[in-house]
Amino acid sequence: MKPSNDSSFFGHPGGLKTLFFTEMWERMSYYGMRALLVLFMTASLQTQGLGLTVATAGAIYGLYTGAVYFLGLPGGWLADRLIGGKRAVWYGGIIIFAGHIVLAIDLQNLFFVGLILVATGTGLLKPNISAMVGQQYSEEDTRRDSGYALYYMGINIGSLIAYFVTGYLQEDWGWHYAFGAAAVGMAFGLIQYHFTNNTLDPKSVEPANPFVGEARKRAWMAVSAVVVAAVVVIVLAHMGTIVIEPVALAQKVAILFTTVFFAYFGFIYFKGQLTDNEKKRLWALLLVCIASACFWSGFEQAGSSLNLFAQNYTDRVLEGGSFLTSWFGMTAIPTVWFQLSNSLFIVILSPFFAALWINLAKRMIDPSYTLKCAIGIVIMASGFLVMFMASQYAAQGLKVAPMWLVTTYFLHTVGELCLSPVALSAVSKLSPKRFAGQMMGIFVLTYSIGNIIAGLLSGNFDPENVNEMPNLYLQIALFSIAIGIIIALLSLKSRHWEKSGIEEKA
């Protein structure tokens, strides 16, 4: 059956069902583990944690989440040139599963090995499964956008399952069971992918632009050399021969990623033989990319400093006779459950925001990409103003009500819905057509940069110095608001850049 005639999954091609459930279970495993990382690393040795400082844990968290996005670049290259999307997703899932198994078996000694395996597997799976969704549709198929919306729903269902399950297991059963749940989730994803991948469209199976002959051999030799070098470094670090200082490494990697971003962006701008209109649109896209990096550096506090705030300074005690107490014997709201707020708000608010931009356009109100991104940053920053007020109570030794964190997550989600889909749309629309794939790769670097900066920022939240917490949240809020205002002012000019020669591109 041709994909254009296949409507076996809610009116969409059957291949989307395979990808929907594979991604749902992969995201369950990813978000479940990510939610636990900082809590586990900062937990005392007596409670089977690693006993690391907040600064070190934050740096490791930033390096891990940043690496997940950065490794998507070589992951996409491997699929395009060597193994194809179908095999990339399969092998990526197996590597992720192996990483979760390592974490579940020996958290203390093999923690970093597990992290590296999960990050590597995710870099191989994530970009290729997202690309394969689009490949299930023909160029003329009008179902593509709604297919991606359905796929995005799978991501959020997976994250909801992750927070519920790992949060409960961590509080009531311990770290090994919580990390083990992530392995079970990935196993479900692999099993269903293995038995249903025959529904995938043939063009998503083979490499899009494969190496042949000697070029293929050289590429495999290069891949093998990188893998061997990585294994040697891991073994030497594990033995203590190489000492890696996470905070210093995170700072250097943040500088490296930022340098690569500007160098590659500049290379396309100056050496890409662009027209004047294409160059103007790239200036607008540069503002979107800067907004993206700044936004994620604040938003990604969810898994680090906000997670610790939920654990240490939020009143999570449940009243006797409540549903969770009566049925599950729980005495407190699991720390991880606060991150449920983001996924729930996305599911509830996404249709509203999709309709909002359409209705504004009908009324001839069409904010520029940069203005929408600026609004997203300012709304996200207002969440940290809420945390500034909440942390003042914490600084006095009080536990704050859960609604402070829930309100913060609500504002962060509204900011995300203003910025994230808009930024992705901007990349696809403003990029020179012949550089569209590379520009998306460059844009993904903004996620990596934002995640590493988020980890470094979260390291400043010293639990031994609670009085400094309000000022730190206020600094993040004011800096983000300032960035948002600057980008909003520049949007007066960038609005014209975005429209430069757009009819020529169409």
Residue 400 exposure: Cα atoms within 13 Å on the Cβ side? 23
Q: What confidence score (pLDDT) does residue 67 get?
A: 92
Beta bridge partners of 12: 9
Q: What confidence score (pLDDT) does residue 420 get?
A: 84
Q: Are 377 and 487 in contact (CB under 8 A)?
A: yes
The length of the chain is 506
Q: What are phi and psi for residue 317, nearest 5 degrees?
A: -65, 130
Same fold, 1-210 and 245-506: yes
Kindly indicate whether the domain formed by 245-506 is annotated with CATH number 1.20.1250.20. yes
Calpha distance 93→320 (Å, rounded): 42
Convert the pLDDT of each residue in 31-71 to its tens digit: 988 889 999 999 888 888 888 999 999 999 999 999 998 99
- Diameter of the chain measured on Cα atoms: 70
Q: What confidence score (pLDDT) does residue 506 get?
A: 41
Calpha distance 163→161 (Å, rounded): 6
Residue 124 exposure: Cα atoms within 13 Å on the Cβ side? 24
Residues 6+ apart with CB under 8 A from 80: 207, 208, 209, 210
Q: Are 56 and 459 in contact (CB under 8 A)?
A: yes
Q: Over the chain (506 residues), what is each successive 10-residue block's mean pLDDT?
A: 61 83 90 89 85 91 91 85 86 94 85 92 86 75 71 85 90 87 91 87 75 88 93 87 89 94 91 86 91 93 89 84 65 86 86 75 74 93 95 90 94 90 80 77 89 90 83 92 94 81 50
Calpha distance 281→353 (Å, rounded): 25
Domain 1-210 class in CATH: mainly alpha
Q: Looking up tokens 């850049």, which residue turns up?
A: 497
End-to-end C-alpha distance for the chain, whole angstroms: 32
Q: What are phi and psi for residue 212, nearest 5 degrees?
A: -135, 155
Q: What confidence score (pLDDT) does residue 465 get?
A: 80
Residue 155 CA from chain centroid, whole number: 11
Calpha distance 380→199 (Å, rounded): 40
Q: What confidence score (pLDDT) does residue 321 get?
A: 65
Sort 397 into a burial class: Cβ within 10 Å, 0-12 / 13-18 / 19+.
exposed
Convert the pLDDT of each residue in 297-330 to its tens digit: 999 998 888 999 998 899 988 776 666 666 666 7
Calpha distance 41→173 (Å, rounded): 17
The answer for 245, left when phi > 0, alpha when psi is -120 to 50, beta otherwise, is beta
Task: Return the structure tokens found at 438.
Answer: 């590379």
pTM above 0.85, yes or no: yes
3-state secondary structure of 241: coil
Q: What confidence score (pLDDT) does residue 504 get?
A: 47
Domains of the chain, by residue range, sit at 1-210, 245-506
Closest of 26, 180, 27, 25 to residue 106, by C-alpha = 180
Q: What confidence score (pLDDT) does residue 1 get?
A: 47
DSSP single-letter state for residue 304: T
Q: What are phi and psi for residue 36, nearest 5 degrees?
A: -90, -20
3-state SS string for 337-404: HHHHHHHHHHHHHHHHHHHHHHHHHHCCCCCCHHHHHHHHHHHHHHHHHHHHHHHHHHHCCCCECHHH
